[in-house]
Structure 1
């Protein structure tokens, strides 16, 4: 069974991403939206955790949320796939289950 994990809280304020990473398994995906997109940046305290997650599952970040926060998409960790709203919907439809981390 495949799972899409959706994280929307900043990893610098909440532990949602850390909790998600414990449960994300092979064939799973993590979608970073809203303030969680800060975890997708190179050079942050969470960059290594995201790189480790990329070894077992896919990691996506919502590009409109990155741009809305004035972040440079060129600074996104290699391997993190940027998606738009349409792809967000496609991901939700592709995976067997969707879990939102709050």
Structure 2
């Protein structure tokens, strides 16, 4: 049973993303939304932790939230993908449940 985990807080303000990554099971999906999209950016103190889990988890950021913050999808951690609202809907449909990390 796969879970979609959504993270909406900046990883530089809370430990939510790290907690999520540590609790997610192989095959789960993580979608970073709102300020959570900063966690998908390469070159940060969290990049290695995110990249290490990208092989066993489907890690994504919401394109619209990247763009709203002036971030370039070309700077995402390797293994992290950008998805639009249609991709968000697909993730919800492909998983058995959704867990919001607040």
Which sections of structure 2, spanning at least 5 residues, go unmatched?
Answer: none
1:27 aligns with 2:27: yes
Contact 2:61 2:81 in 1 (8 A): yes
Which sections of structure 1, spanning at least 5 residues, go unmatched?
Answer: none
* SS of aligned partner of 2:10: coil
Deviation of residue 89 (structure 1)?
1.2
Instruction: Give 4+ residue runs of structure 1 displaced > 6 Å after superposition.
Output: none
| Aligned position for 1:97 | 97
1:7-35 deviation digits (Å, cap 9, x = unpaired): 00000001111110111111101101110
| Aligned position for 1:69 | 69
| Aligned position for 2:13 | 13
**TM-score scaled by length of structure 1:** 0.95
Over aligned residues, Cα RMSD in angstroms? 0.8
1:52 aligns with 2:42: no
**TM-score scaled by length of structure 2:** 0.95
| Aligned position for 2:82 | 82
